[in-house]
Every structure is written in C-alpha cells, then in structure tokens.
Structure 1
C-alpha cells in the first residue's frame, strides 16, 4: 500500500506562521488563499521535510519570527518526520520507535512528487523518456525510433536525387531523328571511298563506249575505202564485216549498259561527315536524357519502398505503445516527444500539463501515494472536480495550492495561518453538489 501524508504541522517556515493540516487520504486537498499568504510555503515545507537538504529553502525562517522553523509530518504508515532546532535537524521515527534518516524517506518518496515543476520544466525528450521508463518500452521504442530516423533520412535523400534527376531530364531536349549510337568518321569516309570507286568504274565504262565509237568510225571509213577494192579484197572484206558485226554488237551492248548506269551521290555522306560532331552531341543529349529518366524511375521506386518501410515502423511503434500500460489514456510518444491526445507539450493547456505530469509522476514510484501541486487555479471548477475524482480512483493524495477563497478550497490561508483552523476539512470531490457534478469517464 502506498504511503501518504496523514498529518502535517508547520511553524515559522517562509510565510507560514502556524498551520496544521490533515489532508484527505485520497483526492484533492486544496490550500487556498490570496497571493502572498503562504500557500506555496506549505508545499515547500513538505518538500523540505521529506526531500532533505537539497529541498531546503534558501531562507526558510519566517521574517520577524523569534522561533526557529518547525516541521512535523505523520505518514500513513506511522512514520514521523520532524525538523526542528537551530539547524532544523531531521528526525525520523518509525512506529516501533526506531530512529531512521533521509535514506528511509528516499526509499518511498518520489522526488518529482515533491518537485513537480522539475518534470514540467524538463525538455520534451526528457518527459518522453520518463514515460517510456515507466511503461518499460524505452529500449524497443528507441530502436524503432533510430530505424525510423535512418530510413526517413535515406528516403529524403533518395527523394531529393529523384527530383533532381526528373528536373534534369525535363530540361534536356530530345532529337528523335538521330541514331542511338555515335557516328564514326572513319566509317563514313570508307563508305564515301567505296562510292567513289564504283563511280570510277562507271567512268571507265563510259570511256570504253567512246573508244568503241571511235573504232566504229574508223572501221566505217576503212570499209568505204576498201569497197573500191572489193574484188581484190573480197575475202578481207568478208572477214572485216564479220569483225565489224561483232564490234557492232559489242557497241550496242555497251551503249545499253551505259544508259542504265546511275552514279551514287556522296553529298549526304559529305554532309554527315561535316556535321558528325553536331549529330553525336544530339545522341549524347538523348542518352543523357534517357539515363536521367531511368535514374529518376529507379530512385522513385526506392523512395516508395522506403515509404512503405517507414509506415511499417510507425505501425510497430503505435502497436508497442498501444499494448503498454500507460499512466493516462491518450498519452503517447511521437517523434521522440511526449504527446497527449495527439498534442505536444507546448500545445497542451496549463490544466492538461498538470494532469499529464501528475499521472506520469504517480507511476514513477508507486509506493509514494502523494503529490504536491502548485497553482491549481489553471483548472476551472468542473475540471478541478474531475481531477479530484480521478485522484480518488487512482488512490492518490494531492496537496495543492490555488489562488482562491472559494468553497472548493479545503483550507484557506491568510497571513500565514489557516482561517477557521478548527473546521473539518472537506475533500474537493465532495464539495460540489452531485447534481452539478459532471459525469466521470475514466480520465481527466
């Protein structure tokens, strides 16, 4: 069973002149009053009594007092804690009369329970680490968080490269009329030489036609001359006519072949040779564009794969936290920061911050059944009552201060003393009529 404060007596500590309080065992005990009347001094006194010298106020003695500070707390387990005398020495006595010291108090008093602002002023990461320590998933979540950050950074880099590749490819022109492979000047020159060689052969054939024509002319003249000598040269004429006939046939064949000949143009190759660098530049541009687009597609594929991996890690983190025994419904850790109902610390209201802090600190050391809360005026009366009911359900005792003199206050301090000290202290959860009480839903 957790230890609580059953009774406390304070004299001459800071602004408190003399005060006795018997806090309610569970729920809220509100110390009310106007500003500067000694409300916070009550909490500081309890923290000093239980927390030791590190919680000692810088100037603990009440101004104008001739007596030294005196503190006495009686705990629910029968332990008595007392500070008195010139040096405010600590005296701890258990129910059997045995004396003890600060070490015994430290065994059940949670430091943050008597110094809640220390938790509230911690960094977002420190708050998250505290919650993870409580629910026992810190190491697993840290590994998932590391994996998440690594994959996220990798995906971001891949995404940047993919975007750059797409932009680069989009800026490059494309030439559909050029070949895929680079042109070779030597190949084009060889083709040109082959055409020139074939054209040379055609020229030789044309020259042979001219030769045949000249020969034909000479033979015709010779025939004319020889006809006068037909009788004498009949045999020679006959032979010559046969030769002439063959020559005529050859001439016709050569003429027919020559007419069918067509020279090939080297103009296109000459232009290609002249513009080979320009064409190759276009080919290089096309290849760069194709490569950039292919790279962009590959990086986009990697980006999508990493996005899927990030989603899986997020789900694992969510599953891990969903299965954990959280101090308060709605608490979680997102991106290394504490959240409540999806809100980070700086987006929570002051009342929500108090509720979250109380719930987390409560779980740090279950043997500590109480917590000190300052400035509870951040809660309206409805929220205050719900908070008190939650404290009762959690079997948690809260001693809190509030700038108020209303009925919600368990005790009101004025000039360091309680107004109506002899009156019965009523817990806040019982102060509001039932017909005005909002329904309790299991959370703040």
Structure 2
C-alpha cells in the first residue's frame, strides 16, 4: 500500500501543502515547515501529536487528506471551536473501528525510524524480538509450565518472556537456589542426627520393645533373691534363736527362784516376828507352789509358741533356701541398652521427616530445573516454526543476533539497515517511511538510507535542515 496523495491545510506551521506519492526530501532552515509535514502525516495516522497546538495560529480548522493506491482515504480535521472530524474510508465505505484499522497498517518505527538508532540496547532488542511472529497467550504458557510463572512482564514478546523465566534473576532460578540451600541445611541436620544414632538402628524394633515387662521381671527376680537370702539367714540362725529363747526361759525361771526364795525367807522371818500373821502366811505359802507352777507353765507355753512361730516362718522360706540367687546383670544391661535405643527414636523420626522433606525439595528443584531448561529450549523450537522477517536473525539466551552479532555490535550502517527492516515488518501495510532530521547523519549514512528505501520499494519523506530560507522539496 502506497500513498498517492497528501494534502495539508492550516496544520501546525503549514498554510497549504500538497504532494503526490513520491519519495521526497524537504530541506530549508528551521521554521519553514519541514517537520510540520511529517507531523501532519503522523497526526493523520495516529490522531496524536506531541505539539500543544495542532491548528495553525489564527485559524479555527486544520485538515489533512491522505489517499492510497488501495482505495484508502484518510481525512482528519482538527478544530478549535467544535469537535474534531475524521473520515476513514476504504473504496468509498466508512471503515469500522477506524483507529484500530489505522494502527494495523503501519508500525510506530515507520513514523520515526531514526529513533531506533538512539534507543538503548534493551529497547532495541525488544523491538527486534517483537518482529518475530509467533501466536501465544497465557494459556500456552500454562500448558508448557503448568502455571503462570510469577515476576515476569507478559507485555513483552514471547522470547523475552522465556528469557525472563529462565534468567538467573528470575523466580524459578532464585526459588531453586532457595530450595537447594534449604536442602543442604536439612542434609546437614540429617547427618548430625545420623552421627548420633548407632549404625543399623531399627526404630520400629525399639518402639515396639516392651521395657515394662523386662523391668517387672527384673524386680520379681530381685524380690525372689531377697526372699532366698532371708530364708537362708533364718535357717542358719535357728539354733541361735532357740538358744536365745531357752536362755530367756532359764533366766525367767532363775529370776522366779530368786524372787520366791527371797520372798519365802522374808515370810519365814516375818512368821517369827509376826505370830499373828502365821495363819495368813502359811495359807499363802501353801498356794505359792501352785502359783509358781502356773507361771512356769505360762513361760513354757510362751517358749513353745515362739519356737512354733519361728519354725513356721522358717518352713515358709524352706522352698527358697535351696535355691541360688539369679544374676540380673545381663537383664539390667539389656534394659539399659533398650532405654538407650529408645532414647534415639525421636531424633530418628525427626531425621526421617527431614529426609522426606529433602526428597520433596529435590523433586521441586528438579522440576524448577526442568522449567528453566524448557524456557531455554523453547526459543529454538519457536524459531523453527515462527515467521522471521529479518534475514540472519537468531536468538541466543533471549538476545537477538543479526548474523551472529548482537545489535550493540553492529555498525551504524548495519543498524540503519536493520531499522528499515523493522519499520516495514508489515509487508501488506502502508509502505512509507518518515525520517525527520537526516542532517544528523553523515552523508554516507543518509545516502545509504535513501538507497535502502529505494531498494525496498518504499516511499519516504525526509527532512533536512539547511540554510535555505524557503522550503525546498526534492523528489528522490
């Protein structure tokens, strides 16, 4: 699509201007209207202007009309006292959604291609990558990665998006570093625990070990051992006990003999002195032997009772007397060992949990690695099927290369060629380039630019500041 007619009236600094579909260079000093021509065309295509005043000073309406060889007619009128006017027709019929239609027939760089030369590296890379035509959306991203990766600017082209996803500053890479750091931390904890736990430790065995039964058995044996020792002592000491009981008996009888002999002597002496009491004393004397015998019988009975009681106690322990005490040393050591093993259970279970967590971290880290590698591989897959409008364009690690070189390594001439290629990336759209201020270029670069446009079959309108007082229009 090429412009066949341009007509401007009372826009910016232009009173009237008209041109056919030719490539032109507009020259002259500042203020003669060179840039106003380009700004008017930009205004026609975008309905925008960086200038505060669009209508020429002193007028109430300014107009631009553009016609193309495909039947497109663009007519805009800027007004100061009423609403602006626009009419976008194709073959005589009004175009639906005209502003959207216009945005689709040119690229912004067509209107200011030299700006590409002045952009920083990141902006240039983004603009080149935007040229690669590949149909994608967030659904495609989710299908590839199972999610929408966070911390990514999805307003970029797909190759820049994938580069951000796999970047060392990206979410996946940083998350993987965090996971691997956490894994190393947990591995260290696991090793510390493992160093404290005996080799071949079986937590299930020691958890199920019934230590209470073992302690009950030990206690029963200890009680039996005490009974055995007591039985042996009782039997060994029986004769001594019997002698003690017999001595107690003899002592008690001897005491009675002394007591009654003394008492009898006193009574007999008292009889001599106290005749009046002879009858009473004799009666008492007569009964004294019987009383003595009663007490002797009581002592004998107590003696026999003590013997019987002690023999019964001895007989009770006879069953233990012939036994040897059982050594519980091994059982005690076993109990102590079980106690020690049980003491490791909590740490062992903690170690198992940590190991499970480490396994989960390894899986997550591997999955993140897979996604990072996927983000690195997908650009190659995309470039195999995508439409690439620039010859020699490849992409490595998210950086566009022209014949193997990054844009920052290109010469000014090569950048200029690339600039034109980018500007006309829509081959069926409007084939015109607007170049404001070519005097900023070297003569060689300017000639190269003009020749590049001619070789591409492009119309172009360029402005060049000179010392001429009037606007000069040169057809190229």
Q: TM-score, normalised by structure 1?
A: 0.54
Match of 1:245 in 2: none
Match of 1:435 in 2: none
Query: Equivalent residue of 1:150, what SS?
Result: coil
Distance change >3 Å, CA 267–CA 321, structure 1 → 2 = same
Cα deviation for residue 41 of structure 1 reads: 0.3
Distance change >3 Å, CA 308–CA 41, structure 1 → 2 = same
Distance change >3 Å, CA 14–CA 155, structure 1 → 2 = closer
Match of 1:264 in 2: 329
Is 1:181 the counterpart of 2:203 in the alignment? yes
Cα deviation for residue 284 of structure 1 reads: 1.7
Match of 1:241 in 2: none
CA RMSD of aligned residues (A): 6.1
Inter-partner Cα distance in structure 1 for 2:49 and 2:197: 82
Distance change >3 Å, CA 115–CA 390, structure 1 → 2 = closer
Match of 2:164 in 1: none
**What stretches of structure 1 of length at least 5 have no aligned partner?**
218-253, 406-412, 428-444
Inter-partner Cα distance in structure 2 for 1:416 and 1:102: 38
Contact 1:8 1:71 in 2 (8 A): yes
**Corresponding pairs, count:** 356
User: What pairs with 1:16-415 in structure 2 (closer than 5 Å)?
Assistant: 16=14, 24=22, 29-47=24-42, 51=45, 59-63=53-57, 100=92, 103=95, 110=105, 112=107, 116=111, 131=131, 135=133, 137-139=134-136, 143-144=140-141, 147-148=144-145, 150=147, 152=149, 160-161=178-179, 163-171=181-189, 173-174=192-193, 175-177=196-198, 179-181=201-203, 187-201=210-224, 262-264=327-329, 268=333, 280=343, 282-329=344-391, 359-360=421-422, 362-364=424-426, 366-376=428-438, 380-402=442-464, 404-405=465-466, 414=468
Of the structure 1 ranges 350-359 and 290-299, higher mean CA displacement relative to structure 2 is found in 350-359
**What stretches of structure 2 of length at least 5 have no aligned partner?**
117-121, 151-170, 241-320
Match of 1:238 in 2: none
Distance change >3 Å, CA 370–CA 266, structure 1 → 2 = same
State the Cα deviation string for residues 48-78 of structure 1 (Å, max 9, x = none): 5x5497779864554479x986867675679
* Bigger radius of gyration: 2
Distance change >3 Å, CA 377–CA 298, structure 1 → 2 = farther
Inter-partner Cα distance in structure 2 for 1:40 and 1:360: 22
Inter-partner Cα distance in structure 1 for 2:227 and 2:95: 122
Match of 1:4 in 2: 3
State the Cα deviation string for residues 191-226 of structure 1 (Å, max 9, x = none): 123234334555666677778878999xxxxxxxxx
Inter-partner Cα distance in structure 2 for 1:312 and 1:377: 47
Distance change >3 Å, CA 331–CA 35, structure 1 → 2 = farther
Distance change >3 Å, CA 101–CA 47, structure 1 → 2 = farther
State the Cα deviation string for residues 149-202 of structure 1 (Å, max 9, x = none): 827569565764554354245246422249543867993332123234334555
Distance change >3 Å, CA 288–CA 375, structure 1 → 2 = farther
